[in-house]
Each structure stands twice: as structure tokens, then as C-alpha cells.
Amino acid sequence: MTFGRLAIDRDGRFVYDGTPVTHPGIVDLLFAHLRPARQGLFEVEIGPVRVSVAIEDTPYVVIRVGDGEPVDLTLQDGSREPLDPTTLVVGSQGALYCRVRGGVAEARFARGPHHALGSRLTETPDGGFALVLAGREFRVGDRLARGG
């Protein structure tokens, strides 16, 4: 059995052969079965069927940031989890990223959540940035330096 090309675009949407997948039930099913595969790749595994998923940027996108502590993230699949501030990095285009799903996947912050979290960052003496939570400072790393 041959399947078409399944991908997640930069905005965190599933795309099948270039066409966005829009049916909410199918989108939910795909995200529920999205799994990391080998060497940073992802696949959708439903029963005996495994389909590779091309990832344009990251498999997940942060669409909402809570204003409390710990910082609560909402991902594009509707799931919520706390931010692990030790994984916060900035990419080459200035976008913020973090690790999600217990550290096995990366998420990019959409524009609104990026600004919401960015307003909570402080500049460090060496020109970098840090997030202060519960009196602790968490440096924002460089995505390229961490292999992203």
C-alpha cells in the first residue's frame, strides 16, 4: 500500500500531498498518533501502519502562553503542558523554541505567544536574554549552538 506525502507545515498544520488537512477528527487522530522516529524524524503510527511525516520547522507550535508560574503552554493540537525553561532557545530568525512532550519534540512559538513570553524576558549583562521564574534565572540558549 502506498501513501501520499504527509507533512507538518511551518504553522503546525498537517498537509497531505500539498493540501491542508482540515477535518478536526482527522487532525486530532494524526496528532494523537504522531511519534518521534529515528534521528529526529517523526511518523504517524496507527496500528500496523506507519507513515513518515516531513516537518517543515517543528512538529509542534505554541499557540498560547499562560501568564502564571510555571508558564503554561498550549500547543496547536490543543494539548497543554508546562514550559521547561531550561530548553528555551532562540533561532536564527529570532523565533523562540522549546522542547515539549517530555523533551522528545521541539515547538516553535507562534507570533502572539512569542511576544507574550518575550515581554517576560530580561536582558543579561552579556547581551543575551533570560527568563526569571520563581526567583531563578533561565538563560535563553542559541538554537544553532544546540543543534536545532
**For the chain, domain boundaries:** 6-55, 60-142
> What confidence tens digit (pLDDT) does each residue in 14-41 have?
999 999 999 999 999 999 999 999 877 8
| CATH placement of domain 60-142 | 2.30.270
> What confidence tens digit (pLDDT) does each residue in 97-126 have?
999 999 999 999 999 999 999 899 999 999
Binned at pLDDT 50, 70 and 90, residue 75 comes out as very high
The whole-model pTM stands at 0.90
| CATH placement of domain 6-55 | 3.10.540.10
CB-count burial class (<10 Å; 0-12, 13-18, 19+) for 18:
exposed
- Which three-class secondary structure state does DSSP give residue 32? helix
pLDDT at 4 > cutoff 80: no
Q: Which three cell numbers stand for residue 93?
A: 530568525
